[in-house]
Structure formats: C-alpha cells, structure tokens
C-alpha cells in the first residue's frame, strides 16, 4: 500500500552551482531532522526509486542513530576541479583552502583528450601537490589505455585514476595495462555486487560515498570486507550531507588518502552559514545545523514529497526500517 504521509519531516533545498558539474547547473535535495541531528537525502533525478532508497536509508540512519565514534578529529581533503577551461581550473586551485591534492575531472562528454591535457597542464603550472583524475567511466578500454599515460605525463605523475571505464572486466584490464593506480567508484556504489572489484583484482583502492551505499555503517562493513584502501567522496551534497562523509572518514581504521569531500564550494548557496569548507586542507569533525535554507517553489516541493513517499514505500518493503533507525521508526 502506498504511504499517504511520511513518519518524518523534511525540508527541500535548491542551489545554483558555481560551475557546471556532472552536467548540472543546479543541485537540490531534502534535509531530515531526527533525534541524532540533521541529515541529507539527495539522490540525483536520473536514479530510479530502488537505487534512490539507499540514499534514504543513509539519511534515516544519520538522523535517528547518528554516527560512530570518530578516531580522528579532522579529515584531509582534495580540491575538485570540474571539466572546465584551463583558466577556470587555475582559479579553482587558487581558492583551494590549503588542499594539497587536486582531483581533476576528465573524459567529459563533448570534450577531447586535448582538453583534458590542457586542463591538467594548467593545474600543474600553479600547483605542486598531488593530482588525481576522475573519468566517471567516460572511456572505453582502448581509450583509457591510450589516455592514462599521456595524462600521467602531463601531471608529472598521477596519484591514481578513478573509474576510467564502466565494467569491472575492463577495469581489471586497464589496471594490468597501465602503471597508474586504479580507483573504483561506480563499480562500487552503482554495482549489484561491489565485491566483484576485489574478486577480479580490478582496483588498487575504492571510493565510498555514504548516501549511495546506504549509510556510514554500511560503508564501514563494505570497506572491511573488501580490504582495499578507501577514499571517502562526496555525492555533491550540502554541508549537511558532507557531514556524513566526514563521519565515515573519521571512523575508518586507516585513512591513507585525502578525501573528496571539499565540494561545498561548488554550491552558490549552502544550507548553513557555518559551511564545511577546508582550512589548511582539512575538514573538521563537527555537526552542522542548517540555518540558511532558502524557500523553493511548490512544484519542487511536490516532486520531492512524491519521490520521498516512493522511496519510503520501497525501503519499507525491502528492509527493516526499525533496524535502520534504531527502533525509532
């Protein structure tokens, strides 16, 4: 039976992006307040309801159970450079908040390898820290094997390349063919079986994002089971959502890489005046209270209300919600 109402309240937010990112000019989502604090639920609109319900599970866990005890007080982070012009890339590096690692987007649809080489070279001209690249599965196997060594040289050595190809089999083949370490992202968070990455020796490290994987504790279990180093990354969230990523990074037994959590700067307007942005290249472990949520139009409110009910119905039909919320719902 379809839910007519939800057992939790929510607030919708929407903001313009300062730079087009993941094909988006705007980002929106919902915030939930529970006894443990605020959380975010913001699956992208191209995700279906079953996949989106993991994001709701993560938000409910955060709001009603809270986060594990941290083992570190701050998290080193990278600055993220979208697939933009060399000039804009350098401007982003100039505002990096002390980050000593840069993640540069490559293999953007409609752009060329020369565009990627120019962007990386421009960043290297003004930045002496580590450079990693993220292709978001934008290459096929042959293009990845051809492109990665060229980009490695342009960067003066890449820390790693994230998700160069879409399938686990191709990921394993690329890893064998190139000298640059391989990180798995979509092959973890959007896979029916994320453990195939380890079974096929397809990656040197994995990227974990709290919302897509169903919560901080689910990420911790996955990381322990797979046994590869972890980079915690953003799903392009407000400071409330970034707080969950910080909680995961703070709870990992080992944290060997800077995390991709410094993405709030891509929001023109955040949901709080006390934004989670890096200082000296790190984010602090602290709670966030939203205090600057701007009103949105009725159509967006209605779209999110319908979507949340659909996600809730799917979650209630497939999971024990009481286990997710510690018995609160």
For residue range 255-299, list pLDDT tens digits in order.
999 999 999 999 999 999 999 999 999 999 999 999 999 999 999
Alpha helices in the chain (DSSP H): 49-64, 86-94, 113-126, 141-155, 168-177, 186-189, 196-199, 216-226, 239-251, 298-318, 321-324
Q: Is 134 annotated as a binding residue?
A: yes
Give, rounded to a whole angstrom, the gap between the first and last alpha carbons of the chain.
Answer: 17
Domains and CATH numbers, the chain: 10-67+293-324 (3.30.390.10), 74-284 (3.20.20.120)
Q: What is the pLDDT of residue 2?
A: 63
Residues of the chain predicted below pLDDT 70 = 1-4
Q: Is 204 annotated as a binding residue?
A: no
pTM of the predicted structure, to 2 decimals: 0.95
Q: Is 162 annotated as a binding residue?
A: yes
Residues annotated as part of the active site: 105, 209
Q: What is the pLDDT of residue 20?
A: 87
Please provide the average confidence, as pLDDT, over all residues in the chain: 96
Quick check: 47 and 296 in contact, CB under 8 A?
Answer: no
Cα–Cα distances in angstroms (integers) from residue 164 to residues 4, 155, 167, in the given order? 43, 16, 9
pLDDT digits (tens, 9 = 90+) for 293-321: 999 999 999 999 999 999 999 999 999 99
Q: In the structure encoding, which two tokens stand for residue 203, read together?
A: 């990656």
Q: What is the pLDDT of residue 290?
A: 97
Q: Which one, of 287, 289, 284, lies nearest residue 97 by Cα? A: 284
């Amino acid at each position: 039976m379809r839910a007519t109402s939800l057992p939790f309240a929510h607030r919708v937010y929407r903001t313009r992006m300062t730079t087009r990112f993941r094909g988006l000019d705007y980002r929106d989502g919902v915030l939930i307040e529970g006894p443990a604090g605020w959380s975010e639920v913001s699956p992208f609109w191209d995700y279906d309801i079953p996949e989106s319900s993991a994001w709701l599970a993560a938000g409910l866990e955060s709001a009603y159970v809270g986060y594990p005890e941290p083992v570190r007080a701050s998290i080193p982070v990278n600055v993220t450079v979208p697939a933009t012009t060399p000039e804009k890339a350098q401007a982003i590096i100039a505002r990096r908040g002390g980050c000593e690692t840069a993640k540069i987007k490559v293999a953007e649809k409609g752009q060329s390898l020369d565009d990627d080489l120019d962007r990386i070279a421009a960043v290297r001209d003004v930045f002496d820290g580590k450079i990693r690249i993220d292709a978001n599965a934008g290459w096929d196997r042959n293009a990845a094997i051809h492109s990665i060594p060229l980009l490695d040289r342009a960067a003066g050595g890449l820390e790693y390349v994230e998700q160069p190809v879409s399938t686990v089999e191709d990921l394993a083949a690329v890893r064998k063919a190139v000298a640059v370490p391989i990180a798995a992202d979509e092959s973890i968070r959007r896979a029916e079986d994320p453990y195939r990455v380890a079974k096929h020796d397809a990656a040197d490290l994995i990227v974990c994002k709290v919302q897509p994987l169903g919560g901080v504790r689910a990420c911790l279990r996955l990381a322990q089971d797979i046994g590869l180093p972890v980079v915690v990354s953003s799903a392009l969230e407000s400071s409330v959502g970034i707080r969950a990523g910080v909680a995961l990074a703070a709870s990992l037994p080992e944290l060997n890489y800077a995390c991709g959590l410094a993405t709030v700067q891509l929001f023109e307007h955040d949901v709080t005046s006390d934004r989670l942005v890096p200082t000296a290249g790190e984010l602090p472990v602290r709670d966030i209270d939203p205090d600057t949520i701007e009103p949105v139009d009725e159509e967006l409110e209605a779209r999110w209300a319908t979507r949340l009910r659909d996600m809730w119905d799917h979650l209630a039909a497939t999971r024990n919600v009481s286990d997710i919320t510690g018995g609160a719902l």
